[in-house]
Amino acid sequence: MLEQLKEIILNYVEIDSEAVKPEARFMEDLGFTSFDFMSMLGEIEDAFDIEIDQQKAADIRTVQEAVDYLEKLTA
């Protein structure tokens, strides 16, 4: 799941793939804007055929939190 998410993240921000670690924060560490983040969520929904709750998505700060949430949705 982490590797799949990493590939999607790299479509939105120009950073080295090594920077995408579980503890990395989307806004502060990876340089996401709110628009980038919401766009990425749309791509994740399509890629995994899931629906992300916008309220819960607003609480996701790190890559690991995103992975944990996606694993719950795809389980």
Tens digits of residue pLDDT in 11-47:
999 999 999 999 999 999 999 999 999 999 999 999 9
Closest-CA residue to 59 (of 36, 31, 27, 15):
27
pLDDT of 66 strictly over 90: yes
In percent, the amount of the chain with pLDDT more than 90 equals 97
Cα–Cα distances (Å) from 3 to 34, 41, 54, 55, in that order, read 22, 16, 23, 25
**Distance of alpha carbon 11 from alpha carbon 6, whole angstroms:** 9
75 pLDDT tier (thresholds 50, 70, 90): confident
pLDDT of 64 strictly over 90: yes
Q: 8 CB contacts (<8 Å, ≥6 apart)?
A: 40, 43, 44, 47
8 Å CB contact between 63 and 9: yes
pLDDT of 7 strictly over 90: yes
Quick one: tokens of 53? 């709750």
The pTM for the full model equals 0.92
